[in-house]
Structure 1
Amino acid sequence: MFYRFARMVARWFMIIFKGMKVEGLENVPKSGPYLVVANHESYFDPVAIGCALPHQVYFMAKKELFDIPGFGLLLKKLGAFPVKRNEVDLTAVKTALKYLKEGKVVGIFPEGTRLKTLGEFHEGAAALALKASVPILPVGLKNTRGFKRCKVVIGKIINELPYDKNELEKGARFLREKVKELL
């Protein structure tokens, strides 16, 4: 209930103040589970994806955000869960896998931080995609930073991954290329 209300308010904000446009809605699966993999340019990225997709997205968010009084509670209410960056966070991985097993949608930003241009993807997203064995929905985000008109471009669902657990670097490059095609 809270998520739907917050999504409605955020959607108005994104359309009125950011001029948000969405392309590729026909590529979104009718239901979960699936893993959303997107580039990360601003704090508005999870908001843009949450407004664009018809399903609630449970985002991995840096642990430090949950330490901010009030904001951490808000993030939890919206379904976000913490991840320790720059290390293998098994708790975050288990949480993501649990949500996916329950048929939910999980969102991840494989760059690991906000960047003005598309950065390299960490191998964790590629590993999570393999471990979860769920479809992957690539999303390209444009102009979520600043006051430009922003765009959410949803790519075709990826059902089969062309790499295995011994080729995670190749997997990270593959996922990055799929997002780059949308930009």
Structure 2
Amino acid sequence: MEFYYFARAVVKGILRPLYRIEVIGRENFPKSGGVLLCTNHISNLDPPVVGITCKRPVSFMAKEELFRAPILKQILPNVKAFPVKRGMSDRGALRAGLALLKKGEVLGLFPEGTRSKTGKIGKGLAGAGFFALRSEASIIPCAIIGPYKLFGKLKVVYGKPIDFAPLKKEKISVEEATDIIMDEIKKLIEANQD
């Protein structure tokens, strides 16, 4: 954990002035308990930006290939990332994510599964809905509003928790749950664009 906080301080010192990051809605983030943090995905810098703006340490799923890269395979586990096989249902990654939430930690997800080439929000994959319906975690939507332009302005907006209790009773599907999360992220983007 020490390395996590050290890395966060270093990255914060670099990224905050470069992108003039403004954080909105930090008070919406639960102080304790499991949190599923769902964010749109516009850049490779999204995970560190969320990591430095979130009140609590965040564990991200990262594509398995990154854990084979020489330097990254040393760094990623130390900044709480864990591997996921893309393009298939990775049961090991799903179990690891649920275990984190059960332990009261923060699981960060990019429901789209990949970066948006256009900056527009895409369709979410079922994984976000799976975690939302299978855990007791608070579901926090988050919007990163760019573009990432040096010395431009970048916003990170944390929304209010989505109440999934009534939706669980309705026995909605994981796809429907993901759509609800994606709609909340879209609303944050629309409400906070200059």
The TM-score, its normalising length taken from structure 1, stands at: 0.94
- Shift of the 72–146 alpha-carbon distance from structure 1 to 2, 3 Å rule, reads farther
**Mapped contact 2:133–2:164 kept (Cα < 8 A):** no
The structure 1 residue matched to 2:129, chosen from 109, 126, 130, is 126
Letter in 2 for 1:121: G
Q: Structure 1 residues 125-134 or 22-31, which shifts more?
A: 125-134
Unaligned runs of 5+ in 2: 190-194
Q: Deviations over 1:47-81 (max 9, x none)?
A: 11111111100001111111111212201110000
Query: Which residue in the other structure is 1:172 paired with?
Result: 178
- Shift of residue 138 of structure 1? 0.6
How many residues matched?
183
- Shift of residue 166 of structure 1? 5.1
**Mapped contact 2:124–2:179 kept (Cα < 8 A):** yes
- Shift of residue 136 of structure 1? 0.6
Runs ≥4 residues deviating over 6 A: none
Aligned to 2:164, what secondary structure does the other structure show? coil
- Shift of residue 177 of structure 1? 0.2
Distance 1:81 1:67 in 2: 12
Letter in 2 for 1:150: L
- Shift of the 102–24 alpha-carbon distance from structure 1 to 2, 3 Å rule, reads same
Distance 1:165 1:4 in 2: 39
The structure 2 residue matched to 1:149, chosen from 153, 161, 169, is 153
Aligned to 2:148, what secondary structure does the other structure show? coil
- Shift of the 157–166 alpha-carbon distance from structure 1 to 2, 3 Å rule, reads closer
Answer yes or no: is 1:38 the counterpart of 2:44. Answer: no
Letter in 1 for 2:48: V
- Shift of residue 133 of structure 1? 2.2
Aligned to 2:41, what secondary structure does the other structure show? coil
**Mapped contact 2:59–2:80 kept (Cα < 8 A):** yes
Q: Structure 1 residues 136-145 or 72-81, which shifts more?
A: 136-145
1:103-122 alignment, distance < 5 Å: 103-115=104-116, 116-122=119-125
Answer yes or no: is 1:160 the counterpart of 2:167. Answer: no
Distance 2:104 2:178 in 1: 24
Aligned Cα root-mean-square deviation (Å):
1.5
**Mapped contact 1:44–1:144 kept (Cα < 8 A):** no
Task: Tell me the percent identity.
Answer: 37
Letter in 2 for 1:126: G
Distance 1:113 1:12 in 2: 27
Aligned to 1:171, what secondary structure does the other structure show? helix
